[in-house]
Amino acid sequence: MKSGNSKLILGLVIGAAVGAAACYLMNKENREELLDQINETVDRAKKKIGKAIDQGIEELDCAVDKVNTLAQTAVSRVKAGNIEAGDE
């Protein structure tokens, strides 16, 4: 019967927590304050994600530039006869 009692107690605790949360959110000021906090958190997350995306794009652009430079150098060397195609 201990399992049945512990399930009952757990159910009562969860029910009390849900009821308290519902009561808290029914108060308009509390609800608005919570929504403001959520909006601020979402805005901060958006800014951080945007910065990370911008940084990733910048790093990708640099990598593309390096690859283009290496490819152009290799093509120039092959054309000039400095290396044979397929040599490294």
Residue 86 lies in a domain: no
Please check the confidence at residue 85 and state whether its pLDDT lies above 70. Answer: no
Residue 85 lies in a domain: no
Q: How far apart are CA 69 and CA 30, in angstroms?
A: 59
Q: How far apart are CA 33 and CA 25, in angstroms?
A: 10
Tokens of 32: 């608005």
Question: Which amino acid is it at 22?
Answer: A
Question: Which amino acid is it at 40?
Answer: E
Name the domain count of the chain.
1
pLDDT in tens, 13-31: 999 999 888 887 788 787 7
pLDDT in tens, 31-80: 788 889 999 999 999 999 999 999 999 999 999 999 999 999 999 888 88
Residue 87 lies in a domain: no
pLDDT at 56 (0 to 100):
95
Residue 71 lies in a domain: yes
Single pTM value for the model: 0.53
Domain coverage including residue 22 = 2-80
